[in-house]
């Protein structure tokens, strides 16, 4: 079965799908994106992801080329055509194709819309969560608006690769004041000595994760205290537990940071409890 992508109004074989070399995202990373989990054939927390897409579009003065109703149909059609029951759907909107010029293209230039679906291996993800992941820390060298979900991810890509080369899965980014902002592709959390969850406030320094927001609700339901405040690496080293959150990783326990063991060195009960509860709380739409 060949994979099917959606490009500017057409379903097309993934291998044949493409956009112009004049596309603004290719030339300037002038685009936004979302990644939504597909679990049991349903889209998880779709409303939150689409609301964030609209916000990203507003912040970059981009006009979304599809009405939300049509967009939702496309995402479902992609999941169905690619027979993805467990995986993700990726969607990207760019400022369209126009002769290279930093100024915005002339009004009326159509935005580019691309979407595709990926399968993921649920058993492999669960095994990874049982083992826990390693993290390294790196300076947060991103621009000052990482709250916008843009395709401009070069610092994130470099950080992830450096993590991989150090035997880790994620990089925690540290700001000029020594605080952990977030991961290169996830939000960062610790569990403090009192058992409270701590994560950076959703200000302009981090992406306001949809998974993160859902975990606020689950934490409350589980009677866990939660504090939104910046934390340092030193605090993280001595935390009882640490984990990352995101649509591709859900809750993924962190067992080492910069080679230092976190807590017992194994995934902790708070992280695993949040992970186990996630799909009981996150709305699934089919």
* 149 flagged as catalytic: yes
Separation between Cα atoms, residue 203 and residue 216, nearest integer Å: 16
- Enter the tokens of residue 231: 């934390």
Which of 5-13, 91-99, 185-193, 254-262 is the region at the interface with ligand PDD (rule: CB under 6 A)? 185-193
Q: Does 96 bind ligand PDD (CB under 6 A)?
A: no
Q: Does 207 bind ligand PDD (CB under 6 A)?
A: yes
Binding mask 30-69 for ligand PDD (x = CB under 6 A): -----x----------------------------------
Q: Which of 247, 255, 257, 274 binds ligand PDD (CB under 6 A)?
A: 247
Q: Which of 185, 190, 231, 267 binds ligand PDD (CB under 6 A)?
A: 185
Q: Does 187 bind ligand PDD (CB under 6 A)?
A: yes
Which of 117-125, 231-239, 242-250, 261-269 is the region at the interface with ligand PDD (rule: CB under 6 A)? 242-250
> For the packed helices 46-60 and 68-81, what is the interaxial angle rounded to 10 degrees?
120
Q: Does 248 bind ligand PDD (CB under 6 A)?
A: yes
Which of 15-23, 193-201, 205-213, 216-224 is the region at the interface with ligand PDD (rule: CB under 6 A)? 205-213
Total binding residues toward ligand PDD, as defined by CB under 6 A: 14
Q: Does 186 bind ligand PDD (CB under 6 A)?
A: yes
The contacts of residue 64 (CB under 8 Å, 6+ apart) are 53, 54, 57, 71, 93, 111, 113
Beta-strand ranges (E) seen in the chain are 4-7, 10-13, 31-39, 42-44, 87-94, 112-119, 133-139, 170-174, 179-183, 187-191, 197-199, 226-228, 231-232, 241-246, 250-257, 260-261, 284-285
Instruction: Pick the closest to residue 115 from 42, 8, 15, 25 (CA basis).
Output: 8
Q: Does 246 bind ligand PDD (CB under 6 A)?
A: yes
8-state DSSP, 206? S
Separation between Cα atoms, residue 268 and residue 286, nearest integer Å: 32
Nearest distance from residue 207's CB to ligand PDD, in Å? 4
Separation between Cα atoms, residue 263 and residue 24, nearest integer Å: 45
Q: Does 150 bind ligand PDD (CB under 6 A)?
A: no
Nearest distance from residue 20's CB to ligand PDD, in Å? 24
Q: Of 35 and 284, which has the nearer Cβ to ligand PDD?
A: 35
Q: Which of 155, 209, 230, 268 binds ligand PDD (CB under 6 A)?
A: 209
- The answer to whether 206 touches 230, Cβ cutoff 8 Å, is no
Nearest distance from residue 265's CB to ligand PDD, in Å? 25
Separation between Cα atoms, residue 135 and residue 239, nearest integer Å: 14
Tokens 């994130």 belong to which residue? 156
- The answer to whether 232 touches 180, Cβ cutoff 8 Å, is yes
List residues binding ligand PDD (CB under 6 A). 35, 182, 185-187, 207, 209-212, 245-248
Q: Which residues are catalytic?
A: 149
């Amino acid at each position: 079965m060949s994979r099917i992508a959606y490009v500017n109004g057409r379903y097309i074989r993934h291998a044949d799908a493409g956009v112009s070399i004049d596309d603004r995202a290719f030339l300037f990373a002038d685009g936004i994106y979302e990644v939504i989990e597909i679990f049991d054939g349903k889209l998880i927390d779709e409303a939150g992801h689409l609301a964030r897409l609209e916000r990203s579009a507003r912040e970059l003065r981009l006009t979304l080329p599809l009405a939300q109703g049509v967009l939702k149909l496309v995402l479902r059609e992609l999941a169905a055509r690619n027979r993805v029951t467990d995986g993700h759907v990726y969607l990207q909107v760019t400022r369209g194709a126009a002769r290279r010029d930093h100024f915005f293209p002339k009004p009326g230039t159509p935005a580019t819309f691309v979407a595709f679906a990926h399968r993921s291996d649920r058993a492999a993800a669960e095994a990874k969560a049982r083992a826990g992941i390693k993290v390294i820390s790196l300076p947060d060298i991103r621009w000052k608006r990482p709250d916008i979900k843009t395709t401009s991810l070069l610092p994130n890509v470099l950080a992830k690769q450096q993590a991989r080369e150090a035997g880790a899965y994620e990089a925690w980014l540290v700001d000029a004041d020594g605080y952990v902002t977030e991961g290169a592709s996830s939000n960062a959390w610790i569990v403090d000595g009192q058992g409270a969850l701590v994560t950076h406030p959703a200000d302009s320094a981090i992406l306001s994760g949809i998974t993160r927001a859902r975990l606020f609700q689950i934490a409350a339901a589980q009677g866990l205290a939660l504090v939104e405040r910046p934390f340092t690496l030193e605090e993280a080293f001595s935390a009882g537990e640490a984990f990352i959150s995101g649509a591709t990783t859900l809750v993924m326990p962190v067992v080492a940071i910069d080679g230092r063991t976190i807590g017992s060195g194994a995934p902790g009960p708070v992280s695993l409890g949040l992970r186990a509860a996630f799909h009981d709380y996150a709305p699934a739409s089919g």
